[in-house]
Structure 1
Amino acid sequence: MSWIVWAMLSAVFAAATALLAKLGVAGVDPNLATAVRTTVVVLFAWVIAVSFGAHGGIAHIERRSWIFLTLSGLATGLSWICYFRALSLGQASKVAPIDKLSVVFVILLAWPLLGERITLMKAAGGALITVGAIVLAFA
């Protein structure tokens, strides 16, 4: 499958995540809800890694990758804590679009950090995402 199919599947599962999380966080402390969800993700990820035999590569992960994967994990945890807090306070249909502003941040930060170019089309797409998120959040 191409990256587009995988990205679309990711979007579908992200939508399910928002809806299911909103239902699950009702009456539950958002930090506890995040901990429960994270535990499920950790167990699921290890089942997948072991099932496909990928766990054997853990000894070959270089120090630099460990550092960036650890930092990515910390950023993910902080994102989820903030996301669950937002879901506990607001409507899923308003929280999710604001969360997707992460796409705009990636476009902007991929330029200095990864050397990716900001083309006219990327800038236009980022602007449309920004306007769309604001419209949806305040509709």
Structure 2
Amino acid sequence: MDTLMPADDLTDELRAISAVVATLEHAQQNELPDEFAGLFRHDAIWTTGGGRRLLGRDAISAFTHQVLPGAMAASTATYEVEHVVFIRPDVVAVKVRQTPVGRDGVPLPGVNPGSPTYVMAKEDGRWLLVAAQNTEVVDG
């Protein structure tokens, strides 16, 4: 991977980026809308898996507070970082594999995975989601 930073710095940044995705997974699985919304920059944009466009952290928070509580009663999802592109040292595009699972962690048969793309920016030493779009993978 071509980067503008030394390999050790790259490893640290990849860990920090993966930690954001892990926090997002934790927030989803545990129905924590404030933790989820706190991952977004104030002016972020997000398109949900259902195609709903949300503009700004306040709108993302309001939507998440409406839909997240109770949404994970029967199933949830795991999130795995598959690919990171450094657009600049402080801006990345992240491709994630989202696997629907039961509360026992076993993948759900017949339920398509998701393929979120996140754009993150590093501000004041912290990676934040700036743009996110979730897309269902219909061909597996």
Question: Would the TM-score normalized by the shorter structure come out above 0.5?
Answer: no
More strand by share: 2
Higher RCO, Cα 8 Å, sep 6+: 1
More helix by share: 1
TM-score by length of 2: 0.29
TM-score by length of 1: 0.30
